[in-house]
Amino acid sequence: MATKPEVRATADMGVTYPRFSAADLATYNSKGFLIARQLFASDEMDCMKREAERNLTGAAVLKKADRAGNPVDLAMWNRPQDDIYGMFSRNERVVKNVETLLGGEVYLYSAKMIMKNAREGGAWEWHQDYGYWYDYGCLLPSMLSCLIAVDRATRENGCLQVLSGSHAMGRVNHDRINEQTMANPEHVEAAIARFPLVYLELEPGDAVFFHCNLLHRSDANRSDHRRWNFIASYNTVENQPYKRVRDYGNYEPLMQVPANAIREFATKCGL
């Protein structure tokens, strides 16, 4: 069971949020993931949800099929922006904690909204994010992702699953199957036998920070409840890609926004 990060007050207009301690860092290094409950409040998540429902449709959405051909809708951002999504990915609540876990200055590698709609959202196969980031020019696994639950995530609607501690394996080989990149099945089978399987059930506003070599997957959503997640991924500045392979992941200085930026942005934009 993940420990609950210590809550420390900030000077940002009285906003408080979990700040990771040395004990939290030890948990992350041991298990490869760390949960921050209620990192964002319900009204902040409602702002993102309303905006996502309004503009993440049609051409803005990619479709990735699982091995059974079931679709997963995906919207992706190549750089931090000044929209509601940027207010989350650039937010000090996330960024300062990421810097604690990675031990240095970071930048936004990519951000995406994964949309598993009710009764149709496909599965994500077992993989490591570094399984393909390595091929994109990142020499070291000094990278992680922060998944923020937009909707409630349960076993029934296909919440994230991880093999706790599997990041210690290092990078394993991956293959492209259909439209997803999958970890080598032989290594996955051995890892399942050795590392505990954990279902990360989350409430809206909860976040989980996970290592780029942590093996993870999710089931198809066969429930009547959709599951949308916002995932922001980070790289250390010193680990920026040595070559340009993709439109995303390339270094750009990250301009953090304060903890209260989401509410200020929502008020300004009438969200």
Residue type, 171: R
Backbone angles phi, psi at 116, to 5 degrees: -100, 100
Please report the pLDDT score of residue 116 as a whole number: 87
Domain boundaries, the chain: 18-269
Please report the pLDDT score of residue 14 as a whole number: 56
pLDDT tens-place values along the chain, 271 residues long = 444 554 444 445 556 788 999 999 999 999 999 999 999 999 999 999 999 999 886 655 777 767 777 777 889 988 888 999 999 999 999 999 999 999 999 999 999 999 888 887 678 889 999 999 999 999 999 999 999 999 999 999 999 999 999 999 999 999 887 667 889 999 999 999 999 999 999 999 999 999 999 999 999 888 999 999 999 999 999 999 999 988 889 999 999 999 999 999 999 988 7
CATH superfamily of 18-269: q2cbj1_9rhob like domain (2.60.120.620)
C-alpha 253/C-alpha 271 separation (Å) is 27
Only one residue has tokens 């590392």, namely 195
Please report the pLDDT score of residue 182 as a whole number: 86
pTM here is: 0.92
Which runs of E-coded beta strand occur in 50-158?
A: 62-65, 71-77, 106-116, 124-127, 143-149
Please report the pLDDT score of residue 7 as a whole number: 44
Please report the pLDDT score of residue 11 as a whole number: 45
Provide the pairing of β-strand 124-127 with 143-149. unpaired
Instruction: Compute how many other C-beta atoms are within 10 angstroms of the C-beta atom of residue 91.
Output: 25
